[in-house]
């Protein structure tokens, strides 16, 4: 792995964005949902920018956590696109209803396992290298 201050992390971040979008788009059923999902990498980047500015860390040193977050979400939905599409179709047909009244969301359980593993690994890496 490159050093956490390596400029290669910008390339890894771009690749992570591509993997995230490629994993999330098949589960969305309309362009509004795809636009909403596309805001995820932007919101994550704004969050690491704010953290970086607040705690005086280099933005480049925060990129491993950014990559870990995006990859954790992306791998959390792999293989669950049919269930995601079913849930998103139900959500579009039933606006305002609580999500727990809709069809099951097995992909949320998968995200609950993959996100802490990838983000935790990235934070461990940032603290040790």
Question: Does residue 1 have a pLDDT over 70?
Answer: no
- Band (5; pLDDT cuts 50, 70, 90): confident
- Binned at pLDDT 50, 70 and 90, residue 102 comes out as confident
Instruction: List, in order, residues 6 or more apart from 14 with CB less than 8 Å away.
Output: none
Tens-place pLDDT, residues 18-60? 999 999 999 999 999 999 999 999 999 999 999 999 998 889 9
Q: Which of 48, 46, 26, 47 is nearest to 37 (CA)?
A: 26
Helix (H), strand (E) at residue 56: none
pLDDT at 2 over 80: no
């Amino acid at each position: 792995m490159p050093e956490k201050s390596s400029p290669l992390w910008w390339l890894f971040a771009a690749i992570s964005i591509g993997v995230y979008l490629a994993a999330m788009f098949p589960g969305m059923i309309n362009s509004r949902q795809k636009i909403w999902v596309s805001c995820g990498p932007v919101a994550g980047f704004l969050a690491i920018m704010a953290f970086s500015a607040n705690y005086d860390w280099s933005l480049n040193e925060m990129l491993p956590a950014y990559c870990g977050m995006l990859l954790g979400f992306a791998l959390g939905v792999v293989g669950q696109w049919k269930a995601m599409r079913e849930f998103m179709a139900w959500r579009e047909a039933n606006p305002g209803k609580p999500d727990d009244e809709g069809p099951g969301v097995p992909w949320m359980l998968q995200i609950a396992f993959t996100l802490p593993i990838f983000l935790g690994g990235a934070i461990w890496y940032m603290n040790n290298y």
